[in-house]
Amino acid sequence: MDQSIAPLIDPFARAISYLRVSVTDRCDFRCTYCMSENMTFLPKAELLSLEELDRLCSAFVDLGVKKLRVTGGEPLVRRGIMTFFEGMGRHLASGALDELTLTTNGSQLRRFAQPLADAGVKRVNVSLDTLDEKRFAEVTRWGRFAQVMDGIDAALDAGLKVKINAVALKGVNDDEAIRMVEWCHARGMDLTFIEVMPMGDDIDRLDQYWSLKDVRAHLAEQFTLTDIPLNTGGPARYVRAEETGGRIGFITPLSHNFCESCNRVRLTCTGQLYMCLGQDDDADLRRVLRADPSDAGLHEAIRAAIARKPKGHDFDYSRQTVNGEMLRHMSHTGG
């Protein structure tokens, strides 16, 4: 990174060091809280090419982004995606980037785990909400449980650190929380619970909402939970389960939002930069990218966007109504 380039600082003096980039809106699952069953996907011309994704992400690295998380849809269904990971690996090698990682549904990990490790990826997050095969089929609609389990094995075999992300869904997986902790920790994997967010146009999330305050109280009936000061660069707060020695994370955008320490922005596969997951304000970086072959205009557009980053989102379930809903699907913005 050119030391003469000032880092990205938003209006609330937060340094933006974490970029989540969606490389595709497509997925081989149709999870009920993320997508409609019959999704209409974007035409290819609207998507950034892998070369454009490389150029955009490299511009963020130039401006001080140290952590890059690749998301989707399902990032590993994007054709040729390893060329992007390999390209980003040069920023790891130079020291400009501290971490390159991804969030995946695990379906393609048997094929990609070793190449990802070879490209410099050390950790992966696997989205998995249930250990019950029948329930898994209901939640994911199209998912193949055995394939995901095999993918997790492949990731562990490749030496990747695996963290399981589970969306806490009342009436769906609220009877599995303890079992999931035991299963993850027995295999050396962290587990993070995430509150369901009011995004998408086809489901009332209020019925699914299970506050992580209640999840933690439920887990405390089985485990001795000790708060630990772990910071992985994201929004999770962590505890250690003393009986297993493993870690449990809680991502609470609703019951206890973490906006005051937000260090991240999200880039969609069409080049729209969302400064906040829970706001509709975005910046069209694809237009700038395609209009100007130099990076000066790109840097300027990124800085202008960060200057509009809001203090926080409006997600709130506390009054038994859903405030701050986003009609945008989670798969569009990137997990």
**Paired tokens of 259:** 């906006």
Tens of pLDDT, residue by residue over 19-64, are: 999 999 988 777 777 767 667 778 888 899 999 999 999 999 999 9
Is domain 18-333 classified as CATH 3.30.1330.40?
no
- Domain ranges for the chain, please list them: 18-333
What is the reported pLDDT for 218? 96
> What is the SS3 string spanning the chain?
CCCCCCCCECCCCCECCEEEEECCCCCCCCCCCCCCCCCCCCCHHHCCCHHHHHHHHHHHHHCCCCEEEEECCCHHHCCCHHHHHHHHHHHHHHCCCCEEEEEECCCCHHHHHHHHHHCCCCEEEEECCCCCHHHHHHHHCCCCHHHHHHHHHHHHHCCCEEEEEEEEECCCCCCCHHHHHHHHHHCCCEEEEEECCCECCCCCHHHCECCHHHHHHHHHCCCCEEEECCCCCCCCEEEEECCCCCEEEEECCCCCCCHHHCCEEEECCCCEEECCCCCCCEEEHHHHHHHCCCCHHHHHHHHHHHCCCCCCCCCECCCCCCECCECCCHHHHCC
What is the reported pLDDT for 40? 72
Annotation: binding site for S-adenosyl-L-methionine: 33, 73, 127, 197
Hunting for tokens 């490299």 — which residue is that? 58
Strand partners, 104: 126
Name the pTM for this structure: 0.87
Annotation: binding site: 20, 27, 31, 33-34, 69, 73, 103, 127, 163, 197, 259, 262, 264-266, 276
pLDDT of the chain along its 335 residues, tens only?
Answer: 454 578 899 999 999 999 999 999 988 777 777 767 667 778 888 899 999 999 999 999 999 999 999 999 999 999 999 999 999 999 999 999 999 999 999 999 999 999 999 999 999 999 999 999 999 998 888 779 999 999 999 999 999 999 999 999 888 899 999 999 999 999 999 999 998 765 444 445 456 788 899 999 999 999 999 999 887 767 789 999 999 999 999 998 665 556 777 889 999 999 999 998 777 779 999 999 999 998 999 999 999 999 999 887 554 444 344 444 444 445 455 55
What is the reported pLDDT for 322? 46
What is the reported pLDDT for 317? 42
What is the reported pLDDT for 323? 47
Annotation: binding site for GTP: 20, 69, 103, 163, 264-266
What is the reported pLDDT for 198? 55
